[in-house]
Chain A
């Protein structure tokens, strides 16, 4: 078998793999549409480290960029819109209740509608997830070239970003308990606090490099890249374990088994009654936790107009310690077989809940803990048609097709373990305008239908994007919103 045949087979294999990935999953995650925008490879390269430098001749400065997202698995935009706009206050027997009324006059209590929806029409585990990422003007890339043909040796990058993420993952036991009652579980345990709640705010200082690895001929090129990040943590909250299981023994005895561990890190001033001020400069620079993160990935140029790339992002954690850390944990078991009634004072018996809850009083400590960041796998591909050339000799494609697959590996704040698949089309007009639309499913959004636009005026670049911008066209399928903006300067 000759080399040419081998390469041809490899290409076919890659194309097949990409095709398979595109149909493997119709579920979801936040997308970064700057991956699709030809003018913002540097910003997109935060997700694909190997792509840094592919859209610049010498260097770029990302002036400002921001991305925020919010999604859930419980309700689509249409449902939330209708609840928010139709809620009324109804009076029943002199008491006010929130109600929802249909056009035919049939009226339901709001908890009835909401609990029924969560219990009967959502997956077995749900989430609310949101996050934001801001790039201050400290994101630069510089391409080092050598040789007579000025071939790229490597492109080095340095960037700084601020990240905030929050997630609330929860099972349906509590809602089923409230809606269907404990009797509906029979003898099966009910986890009354089956949730994972997390919040994390940190910044990252990253140095990275991307470089050609090998050129195998026949247009097949491999490129690799990485980002090494120093992480500065500002605040974190994580429910490492949260279990309060209730087991009902034929209605005679309820057994509660609690096992929980919550970690919290905030500026020490929050626990120091003698100090009321925080030094913002010191806090911004040093934070209250430190950590290391890494992104690494590779790109494969299969044909001139077909490229595939993949990366592992945000592998690492922030370690929190010191006076601002609290670990709240408990492990307790107790049984309840009825409220004790003194028969000699039946007229005035009372239920002392404090006594029961007192058994669950947590143990509080200040031990260091690690807060993972949102580790995920990102795979992508782009395919171009109708190649054009600028006056300066740069080539681009007029029609571009993109594919993205993201799989979160953990439930770190802002992450989703539900896979996300996205496809996009972008049209590039004379290398000054790039506009497109994308659609996908999964991740934090459910169905998404978004758009993006980028402008290039000389060295300046400006872009806007949203995965949900067209979501209201299909509001019954969309469960999230997001928005991105980016400004850059590149040569």
Chain B
């Protein structure tokens, strides 16, 4: 047989290679078969926790940054300070007999704290200086117990700003009780007066601004027969409009409540359409929270109450969640018919709520536009 030369061999190889590749391309392009897509119904099953919340002393403490503003007219310090005057040096004026009354909160009768910060600022609006040693005093309105007294550290000239923060600490075993209703007055008011000049006191006043921040609250006393309520309306969209009727999802939602607070509660959730018309509801009956029992001496929770609710969410309910649907969540919390001895929130008290969802979502063919 003939053995070809290398160049001829390569030429032959290339020809054969090209022919082979061409044949393959023709052969292969016709071999693919058309697929039919039939993935079956898509069932997605979600089961898990969704949300939780806990209301306890620390939650409530975080709310307690209270800002109070009091405008004290010069006549409240001395009824004669009105009009054009020459005022001699003053050493011990006081507005104690005409204190300003503040109501810090609507809900808490008293706050027992072992640590709080009081911030004060004022710009002297009187035509005389406020002398060093003038004292700012807070006391409870009922028992007149003083819980804050601060002597101004430097003379504050007319128009001058004075600011300070001070942390008030007490022994944890003997916390400071601060009632909701408190009084403020100036004591031991000092000034160099007008230095023989005539000055106009007409309508002069000073805005005293206070911020009380409770850093560590050990106990709260609640008012009896008080009620809080709120309604939250939130838009929720599970399905696009027009798709909901295809019965895409069903399941259940579970709500577990553990109550260690001395409060009653009611809640209900409605489904509204885009025009705020009620089209359904989540709970068949109103959800009720029963009060816990508290030891008034130790503030320990003696009995907690539990509510475990599993609400079925059939296709019909979930189909209501079109685009533009809304959830209207209403709740009422009150201290009605609870003994005042029990209306105490201590460190072991809390209200905990957990929501879990068990939802099966179905999908199949889709309609494209």
Binding site for B on A (CB under 8 A): 77-79, 81-83, 86, 90-94, 97, 99-103, 106-109, 112-113, 115-117, 120, 179-184, 248, 251-254, 336-344, 346-347, 430, 432, 453, 455, 457-458, 460, 462, 464, 469, 472-476
Contacts and interface: CB of A to CB of B under 8 A. Distances in A.
Contact of A102 (B16, B33, B37, B44): B37
B63 A344 contact: yes
A379 B46 CA distance: 49
B44 A180 contact: yes
25 contacts: A78-B33, A79-B35, A92-B240, A97-B366, A102-B37, A107-B365, A107-B366, A112-B42, A113-B39, A116-B39, A116-B40, A120-B40, A181-B44, A181-B45, A181-B361, A251-B48, A251-B254, A252-B49, A339-B52, A341-B52, A341-B53, A430-B1, A455-B9, A458-B3, A473-B28
A99 B17 contact: no
A78 B32 contact: yes
A108 B49 contact: no
Given A93-B242, A473-B31, A182 B47 contact: yes
Contacts of A81: 32
Q: Which of B6, B50, B53, B368 has the most C-beta atoms of chain A within 10 angstroms of its own C-beta?
A: B368
A339 to B, nearest CB: 5
A248 B47 contact: yes
Given A181-B45, A339-B51, A457-B6, 10 more contacts: A78-B32, A90-B366, A90-B369, A91-B368, A94-B369, A97-B368, A181-B360, A455-B9, A457-B8, A458-B6
A117 B39 contact: yes
Contacts of A455: 9, 12-13
Contacts of B366: 90, 92, 97, 99, 107-109
B51 A341 contact: yes
B42 to A, nearest CB: 5
Contacts of B241: 93
Contacts of B35: 78-79, 82-83, 86
Contact of A473 (B27, B234, B365, B367): B27
Given A93-B241, A112-B39, A336 B49 contact: yes
Contacts of A472: 27-28, 31-32
B45 A183 contact: yes
Interface in B169-193: none
A93 B9 CA distance: 64
B42 A337 contact: no
Given A91-B369, A457-B9, A179 B42 contact: yes
Interface of B: 1, 3-6, 8-10, 12-13, 16-17, 20, 24, 27-28, 31-40, 42-55, 59, 63, 232, 234, 240-243, 254, 256, 354-358, 360-361, 363-369
Contacts of A473: 27-28, 31
Contacts of A92: 240, 366-369
Nearest to A253: B49
Contacts of B16: 453
Contacts of B50: 338-339
A399 B356 CA distance: 71
A102 B234 CA distance: 40
Contacts of B6: 457-458, 460
Contacts of B13: 455, 462
A399 B13 CA distance: 22
Contacts of B254: 251
Contacts of B9: 455, 457-458, 460
A337 B37 contact: no
B250 to A, nearest CB: 12
- The majority secondary structure among interface residues of chain A is mixed
A475 B33 CA distance: 8
A251 B234 contact: no
Contact of B32 (A90, A252, A475): A475
B37 A106 contact: yes
Nearest to A111: B42
A248 B48 contact: yes
Contacts of A340: 51-54
A341 B63 CA distance: 15
Given A102-B37, A432-B3, A455-B9, A347 B232 contact: yes
A478 B32 CA distance: 11
A464 B3 contact: no
A343 B55 contact: yes
A342 B53 contact: yes
A79 to B, nearest CB: 6
A96 B197 CA distance: 82
Nearest to B9: A457
A338 B39 contact: no
A270 B220 CA distance: 59
B355 A338 contact: yes
Contact of B46 (A108, A182, A460): A182
A183 B63 contact: no
Contacts of A474: 31
A253 B48 CA distance: 7
Contacts of B1: 430, 432
B49 A337 contact: yes
Contacts of B355: 338
Shortest beta-carbon contacts, A-B, top 10: A183-B45, A90-B368, A457-B9, A183-B47, A116-B39, A338-B52, A472-B28, A181-B45, A82-B35, A338-B49
B39 A82 contact: no
A462 B11 CA distance: 12
B240 A93 contact: yes
B34 A82 contact: yes
A462 B355 CA distance: 71
A183 B47 CA distance: 5
B308 to A, nearest CB: 11
A256 B19 CA distance: 59
A99 B366 CA distance: 9
Given A93-B242, A344-B63, A475-B32, A180 B48 contact: no
Contacts of A343: 53, 55
Contacts of B43: 180-181
A383 to B, nearest CB: 25
Contacts of B358: 183, 251
A251 B357 contact: yes
A182 B54 CA distance: 26
A116 B42 contact: yes
B44 A108 contact: no
A81 B35 CA distance: 9
A116 B40 CA distance: 8
Nearest to A346: B232
B256 to A, nearest CB: 8
Contacts of B8: 457
